Amino acid sequence: MEKIGIKNLIGADVRGKRVLFRPDINSPVNAEGEIVNDNRLDKTIPTLRYLVESGAKTAIIAHQGDTLDYQNLIPLAAHAKRLTELSGIKVDYIDDVCGDAAIERVKALKEGEVIILGNLRYLTEEVSTFEKDVKLTAEEMEKTYLVRRLAPLFDVYVNDAFSAAHRNAPSMVAFERLMPSYAGPLFFKEYEALYTVMHNADKPVVFVLGGAKISDAFGMMDKVLADGVADKIVTCGVTGVVMQLARGVKVGAKYEKWLADKDLTVFVEQAKGLLAKYSDKFVLPVDFAYEKGGARAEANLSELPIDDAMFLDIGAKSISDAEKAIASAGTIFVNGPAGVYENPMFAEGTDRVWNAIAKAKGYSVIGGGDTVTAAAKFIELKDISYVCTAGGAMVRFLSGKKLPLIEAMTSSK
């Protein structure tokens, strides 16, 4: 792996020092606000344990939810409780981000103690809409409320939030300018896994791209194909339908209206360009599943369009094609499920694709909250070579885009 000029926490002397620890523990929650996937919490524990055993006085800042998923914007009390249960380390919580109560609690920390401060997304400066609309530089972020209030209290900043590396927020890129800063072991594991896919992968490399958030797939496909990173791309989910639309296939009025209402038809032209340059690199779906009379039905391309159908899974032939591509791969990268797996009627594609990946001999990397949740439903995550905590950061890394966190850490104090 390339040297990226970021200091590693392991080996650093933090005994007796106040450490501001920024992991990403943003986790899927159910309607009752209960955490339903521990992946990011589990992977935070080694860094947390190192800080505790090294005698640091640790305050954790982290986010949960956002303006775009307000239903997930909950206090971090559940995260403190779950981290305590998973690690055996007592993790306290205070429902205050950087007010007077939080500051007094940080000042009172003793060696080996840990507290999580309130949800960062309580602060306007930390929500994604602020980042999008205001566009502060890292230098300007030194003047934000969060940084002005917390920076004077700490001796060391530690970031282990590679999964949020694409976020240009004060908690991610400003503290590095003001104090000695280190990346935790998870940061380096995430970076190395994705760097391996990009530069040192065993061939052939097969990307499996599905799900409903097709901007992720289209954000990376041209880059990984142009650079020779991907040898084959298996498209399923909404991406697979859009690729067939680009070939001139009409799928039906209801589904095409749904795509238009979601502003997803804009990707059809991009798909046409990809197929024109790399037609032999794609494994496209050739049949789709839909509901008919209360049961699963499948239609091949010659039977389309079906105007009243919503295609929520790939069909049997497409599943078989995906399984063959996966079995032959030296490296497999996955982002997104094959279909609407939450509905048992349309779970077959996702189920069989995940089981093919679990059984494959190739090195496998998966990432993104929905992807990990889907995988965990059908297979043991230990059967995946590396489960990445990153979603958006992973996509941008594989798209060749600069990540604000990496830029901030490489130029830190």
User: Would you state the pLDDT for residue 255?
Assistant: 97
List CB contacts of 13: < 8 A, sequence separation 6 or more.
Answer: 54
Mean pLDDT of 34-43: 90
> How far apart are alpha carbons 367 and 196 in whole angstroms?
14
User: In which band, very low, low, confident or very high, does the pLDDT at 1 lie, cut at 50, 70 and 90?
Assistant: very low
Return the percentage of the chain with pLDDT > 90, whole number.
Answer: 83
Cis-peptide, bond into residue 152, ω within 30° of zero: no
pLDDT band at 398 (very low <50, low <70, confident <90, very high): confident
Joined tokens for residue 14: 């933090």
Q: At what angle do helices 253-261 and 237-246 cross, to 10 degrees?
A: 110
Q: Are strands 57-60 and 205-209 parallel, antiparallel or unpaired?
A: unpaired
What is the β-pairing status of strands 295-300 and 114-116? unpaired
3-class SS letters over 234-251 = EECHHHHHHHHHHCCCCC
pLDDT in tens, 217-228: 998 999 999 999
Predicted confidence at residue 363, as pLDDT, reads 95
Residue-wise pLDDT tens digits, 262-278: 999 999 999 999 999 99
Would you say residue 29 has pLDDT above 90?
A: no
| The pLDDT of residue 292 is above 60 | yes
Is the pLDDT score of 349 beyond 70?
yes
Alpha carbons 170 and 182: distance in angstroms, whole number: 16
pLDDT for position 391: 80
pLDDT at res. 395? 84
Residues β-bridged to residue 58: 19, 114
| Model confidence at 230: pLDDT above 50 | yes
Give, to the nearest 10 degrees, the angle between helix 39-53 and helix 77-87. Answer: 70
For residue 37, what are its two tokens? 């996937």
Cross-strand bridge partners of residue 157: 20, 181
Query: What is the model's pLDDT at position 290?
Result: 97
Residue 281: which pLDDT band, with cuts at 50, 70 and 90? very high
Q: Which whole number is the average pLDDT over 13-29?
A: 95
Q: Please write the tens of the pLDDT for every residue from 192-210.
A: 988 888 888 999 999 999 9
Mean pLDDT of 305-321: 97
CA distance 217 to 225: 12
Q: How far apart are CA 412 and CA 249, in angstroms?
A: 52
CA distances from 312 to 152, 292, 349 (A): 52, 12, 10
Is the pLDDT assigned to residue 325 strictly greater than 50? yes
Q: Which amino acid is it at 20?
A: L
What pLDDT was estimated at residue 67? 80
Tell me what the mean pLDDT of segment 386-405 comes to: 87
Which residues share a beta bridge with 115? 59, 92
Percent of all residues in the chain with a pLDDT value above 70, rounded to a whole number: 99
Backbone angles phi, psi at 252, to 5 degrees: 140, 155
Report which of 264, 283, 268, 364 is spatially closest to residue 321, judged by C-alpha positions.
Answer: 283
Q: What is the mean pLDDT of residues 165-192?
A: 95
Q: Is the per-residue pLDDT at 394 higher than 50?
A: yes
Predicted pLDDT of residue 3: 62
pLDDT at 177: 96
Does residue 182 surpass a pLDDT of 70? yes
> Position 324: which residue type?
K
**What average pLDDT is seen over the chain?**
94
Residue that the structure tokens 């049949």 belong to: 287
Provide mean pLDDT across the span 106-133.
Answer: 95
| pLDDT value of residue 2 | 55
Burial group, residue 215, by CB count within 10 angstroms (0-12, 13-18, 19+): middle
